[in-house]
Amino acid sequence: MRRFTDDNGDTVVELKPGITITRSFAKPASFRTEQSVISKAQPAKNKRAQDPIVPIEPERELSESHIGILREISPYADPVKAFSMADTAMGRASLGSVGKQEMGKITVHVPYPTEDYTESFTSWIPAKLLQDRRIERGVTVALDLDRIQIVGRGYTWFCDSLEIV
């Protein structure tokens, strides 16, 4: 951003190359923006689409830490049913950490201001971590995710730490 006085004595603020706002010296209460800038900015503002949300599958790292916005909460979810496993000791054992305790499920969106997308992580989480009354949709949270393997079903995210930021 650059501010200068033009040949007429008007104050000009250049926001970006080619985008200026002018304030007349003779009429200090008036501002003038180039019409070409206004005509280009209005349609662009109306057309701007929301950043795409990209679901991140647990194929990248063994564990990750993120800060994001809590978008979905299921305080009680059934991993046996979700993974179509037998509800037996053997079936639960094949679920690893997910089969050993009562579970919930969360989805957290992690926006990246320098990129034009938002990462989305859906994870299993121990139901006891969702007992805090402050945990609700829209809050900013810090979470630690581990990639765990479900025997015969691939990988899933497991959240072992969730804190409100």
- Kindly tell me if the per-residue pLDDT of 2 is higher than 90: no
pLDDT tens readout for residues 48-93: 566 688 999 888 668 888 999 999 999 999 999 998 888 888 888 8
Residues of the chain with pLDDT > 90: what percent? 36
Domain that holds residue 37: 2-47
Q: Assign 122 to helix, strand or coil.
A: strand
> Do 85 and 15 share a structural domain?
no
Return the CATH number at 119. Answer: 2.40.50.140
Total domain count for the chain? 2
What six digits make up the tokens of 45? 């503002």
Q: How much is the mean pLDDT over the chain?
A: 81
> Do 115 and 156 share a structural domain?
yes
pLDDT tens readout for residues 102-132: 999 999 999 877 778 899 999 999 999 999 8
> Do 92 and 60 share a structural domain?
yes
What pTM, to 2 d.p., does this model score? 0.66
Contacts of 152 (CB under 8 A, 6+ apart): 94
- Kindly tell me if the per-residue pLDDT of 25 is higher than 70: no
> Do 68 and 34 share a structural domain?
no
Contacts of 89 (CB under 8 A, 6+ apart): none
> Do 43 and 111 share a structural domain?
no
What six digits make up the tokens of 50? 């929301």
> Do 151 and 76 share a structural domain?
yes
C-alpha torsion angle, residues 119, 123, 127, 131 (rounded to 10): 0
Length of the chain: 165
